[in-house]
Structure 1
Amino acid sequence: MTFDQNQHEQLHQLLGAYVLGGLSDDDHRAFTEHLRACAACQQELGQVSGLPRLLSLVDTQTQVPYAAELAPETAAAASVAGSSSTGLADLLDAARRRRRRRRSWFAAAAAAAAVGVFGAGAGFGPGLLNPPPVAEHYTATAAGSSAKVGVDLVERGWGTQLNLACQDMPVGEEIVVYVVDANGRELPAGSWLGTESGYSRVTGATALRPDQIRSIEVRTRAGDVIATAKT
């Protein structure tokens, strides 16, 4: 599925709520579909994906023992109160109010941090959470073909992500991208259907690391080479 620029901007604004789990079912489905074809959103999602863990620390930091919630003079008063249920109830209420105020303060601070990350386009998010992955860029072409494919190889923990920007591709044909290792082994890394405009942005994946990939080939399902690049 392809989106125009306005659709992209509208869906891109859902990124923050998507990470924090705040989307409705319909918006979640729409953004998930958009994410499959949008390299920019995929990269930004990778940069801020650790934010929920950061926010989860709010609850951890606010769960302190009851004794620590009481000021020294309040704790002493509790000891003097002894068996007085009314005095103890008052002390417990005071401690609960203090906990709520502290939890609200932490939550507000965390929410402000989240707004800062997403509102600034994750300007400081990569440095705070995860460094941006380094991509190796290649341009794939082939003799007798007008097609041109830009390929970014991004190393991941599970292998390599391939971000492809394709121009002048066969319309309506199934297209497959292969990676070839040092032993000549050809492994499919993704497939898609050529669009009417001949342009598409797609994401593929392979278990090979970037340094294990010797070439990239884009072919039709019938095996005709559309574009190729040596790495």
Structure 2
Amino acid sequence: MSEHAYSCAEVRAAIGAHVLGALDASEAAAVDTHLADCAECRAAYDELAGMPALLGLVGAEEAAAVGTALPESPGSAGSADEVGLRRLLARVRAERALERRRRLVVALAAAAVTLAVAGVGGWAVGQALAPSGPPVAGATPTPAPTPTSTPTPTAHVTAPPVRWSATNATLAVDGTATINGVPWGTKVDIVLHGVKQGQVCSLTVYDRSGRRWDGGSWRVAYGDGVRWSGGIAVPANEVVRIEITATGEHPLLTIDG
């Protein structure tokens, strides 16, 4: 997509990729600008905003088991976003042999992507992630109910997101975390430079109480940087630190405010 004021049709086609962090910075900014002024498109975005939380249930070992060579239909044409979505769908198909719960989660995420590409709304997710650390008595989060009516526009679209940056000079790795409050908790968009192609990275988020939340895992598909989105069931104003580790629990980057 070129740099211009996006129409509703263009934004609906890009929502799925935007939720997954697959748009580049200029495209993401153009979509956010449209969402700030269009309640209908904003509601469609909110309905798909739970996808990162569902994909976040896929662990690092499972992400590592997915092959990097993903088939594409011969002679197919389309934008880079469409290619990325096809790769996601292929990855979903490759994961179907794994355990029942994760198979259901990824299938739901694939259905959301399909709806976003078709420009169709009406699909909502209220799945919450469980923290990876031991529970604290009286503080266990509960899954949010699936809304039965059109979601009310939320502040995370119109309010500026919170961006934190950090650098690991030893490993020559730098990154930025963009934190957005969403109806189901917090969406975290990660941009990393200096990571190696083929590495499997994991996102961990810490809240004010010191609890550790698993934000998901992903394989680095390109050598020139990576954009990825994860999610946790904690309000954005409770997030205090973000850690990114590589395969084998090797720390790559710690990002905080």
The TM-score normalised by the length of structure 1 is: 0.50
- Radius of gyration: which is bigger? 1
Task: Return the structure number with greater helix share.
Answer: 1
Higher relative contact order (CA 8 A, sep 6+): 2
